Amino acid sequence: MLRSRVLGTGSYVPEKVLTNAELESMVETSDDWISSRTGIRERRVAVEESTSDMAARAAKAALKESGVSPKDIDLIVVGTVTPEMAFPSTACAVQSQLGIRAGAAAFDVSAACSGFLYALDIADKYLKAGGVKKALVIGVDRFSQLLDWKDRSTCVLFGDGAGAVVLSAEKGAKGVLSCHIHADGKHWEMLYAKSGLQPSPFDKREAEPAAIRMNGNETFKIAVRTMGQAIKEVLDDTGIKPEDIALLIPHQANLRIINAIRERLDLPEDRVFTNLDKFGNTSAGSIPLALDEAAKQGRVKDGDIVLFVAFGGGLTWASAAIKW
Ligand code: COA
């Protein structure tokens, strides 16, 4: 049986750090409010780099670590909701920037903060089916462009960043064991951003700015519930028990959401990876950015079971288990 094995990970965050203290001078907020309600202390904000620049830099690092040549990539899937172009896709821009071979398939997936796991699920299915041998899966978002910087209830939560993995179809027990993706579009108003397209001269609808709107309290509750369900789904599917989980890498939105999930699973703190204190919620970038940092710190070892769970606008949610 073919499995999608991770051969390398990479990530990229912009250099510019925006601290909670700096946000105090932009909106009526405090470091204490932000860190106690969310766990976030600072985030990165892109200055020069576009979404595709960030994606390409993360992917380049993942390719380098994997030893796979750009000429051998058959598929590029990018999870993002902040592409700099309506088309072509961010995946096509990455293909061009990295010299990935002409003829490889390349496309983006829109699933907000669940974008990376959606992209992973799709790539996994192509790899298992045998048509694709090597795939590049990227999660990237540049939410600084999508924020209303006067809205304190959202602008303190997000940051910019990207992460990537190189997957290879290989025989054996290692690789993606299980992956699940879900959505419930009727709750779209909980968390959304308009696209920013210009109204045409014929438009009768009122123009709305392209900025994130969110019902934070409801989003919080649904996030805890759906991520709990998604973890149960992956455990039931694989027979993995909570005590078998070497590391849980959840979407990095809010430390209180992560702790609620950890408590439900009865996992000790050291088996749940967090880095949202440094990067905030980087949307589709969050899980692969955390994975790369965890791997570089030696927190993911050969043979480990690593679980992933995400939640985002759509509403969307997803989970995956990988044997490292
Ligand atoms: N600084 C200071 N005060 C703030 C603030 C900020 N940045 N943002 C909101 N407030 C105020 C509110 O206006 C409210 O004031 P009021 O009581 O006078 O009306 C008060 O803080 C409490 O707001 P509330 O929304 O009840 O706080 P909360 O404990 O629910 O925390 C969130 C708010 C946004 C941190 C929390 O709901 C959350 O994290 N939700 C999930 C959001 C998320 O992760 N979205 C992405 C999913 S992918």
Q: What is the pLDDT of residues 12-59, one digit of tens each?
A: 999 999 999 999 999 999 999 999 999 999 999 999 999 999 999 999
Q: How remote is the CA of residue 111 from the centroid of ligand 1, in Å?
A: 23
Q: How remote is the CA of residue 216 from the centroid of ligand 1, in Å?
A: 6
Of 151, 153, 212, the one to substitute when testing ligand 1's pocket (max ligand atoms within 8 A of C-beta) is 153
Handedness of CA 291, 292, 297, 303 (dihedral sign): positive
End residue of a domain, out of 143, 173, 203: 173
- 279 three-state secondary structure: helix
Residue nearest (by alpha carbon) to ligand 1 atom 20: 153
CA angle 197, 203, 204 (to 5 degrees): 125
Which ligand 1 atom minimizes the distance to the CA of 155? Answer: 7
**In the Cβ-directed half-sphere of 256, how many Cα atoms lie within 13 Å?**
10
Write the CA distances from 284 to 95, 278, 312, integer angstroms.
Answer: 19, 16, 9
Q: pLDDT for 137-184, tens place per residue?
A: 999 999 999 999 999 999 999 999 999 999 999 999 999 999 999 999
End residue of a domain, out of 120, 153, 173: 173
CATH number at residue 205: 3.40.47.10
126 and 218 housed in the same domain = no
123 and 264 housed in the same domain = no
The yes-or-no answer on residue 215 being catalytic is: no
Q: Edge-to-edge strands of the sheet including 175-183?
A: 175-183, 316-323, 305-312, 247-250
183 and 250 housed in the same domain = yes
281 and 165 housed in the same domain = no
Which ligand 1 atom minimizes the distance to the CA of 112? Answer: 48
Per the structure, the count of domains in the chain is 2
Write the CA distances from 202 to 195, 206, 316, integer angstroms.
Answer: 18, 11, 33
222 and 143 housed in the same domain = no
Could you tell me the two tokens for 120? 């992973």
Q: Are 111 and 318 in contact (CB under 8 A)?
A: yes
End residue of a domain, out of 152, 173, 194: 173
168 and 193 housed in the same domain = no
Write the CA distances from 199 to 8, 69, 194, 202, 206, integer angstroms.
Answer: 43, 43, 12, 8, 8
In the set 155, 179, 251, 275, the catalytic residue is 251
Helices 51-66 and 90-98, interaxial angle, to 10°? Answer: 50
Q: How far is Cα 169 from Cα 71, in angstroms, rounded to an integer?
A: 16
302 and 271 housed in the same domain = yes
285 and 195 housed in the same domain = yes
Q: How far is Cα 105 from Cα 12, in angstroms, rounded to an integer?
A: 23
182 and 167 housed in the same domain = no
Q: How remote is the CA of residue 191 from the centroid of ligand 1, in Å?
A: 13
Q: What is the pTM of this model?
A: 0.97
Which of 251, 256, 309, 248 shows the shortest CA–CA distance to 273? 248
131 and 148 housed in the same domain = yes
Any residues with Cβ below 6 Å from ligand 1, and which? 29, 33-34, 37-38, 113, 152-153, 156, 214, 216-217, 219-220, 223, 253-254, 281, 311-312
Q: How far is Cα 158 from Cα 145, in angstroms, rounded to an integer?
A: 11
Q: How remote is the CA of residue 257 from the centroid of ligand 1, in Å?
A: 13
Q: Which domain holds residue 296?
A: 177-323
164 and 226 housed in the same domain = no
Which of 240, 174, 238, 181 shows the shortest CA–CA distance to 3? 174
Of 18, 35, 37, the one to substitute when testing ligand 1's pocket (max ligand atoms within 8 A of C-beta) is 37
In the set 20, 254, 275, 281, the catalytic residue is 281
122 and 223 housed in the same domain = no
Q: How far is Cα 29 from Cα 21, in angstroms, rounded to an integer?
A: 9
One digit per residue, pLDDT tens: the chain, 324 residues? Answer: 899 999 999 999 999 999 999 999 999 999 999 999 999 999 999 999 999 999 999 999 999 999 999 999 999 999 999 999 999 999 999 999 999 999 999 999 999 999 999 999 999 999 999 999 999 999 999 999 999 999 999 999 999 999 999 999 999 999 999 999 999 999 999 999 998 888 889 988 887 788 999 999 999 999 999 999 999 999 999 999 999 999 999 999 999 999 999 999 999 999 999 999 999 999 999 999 999 999 999 999 999 999 999 999 999 999 999 999
Which letter does DSSP use for residue 303 in this model? T
The yes-or-no answer on residue 251 being catalytic is: yes
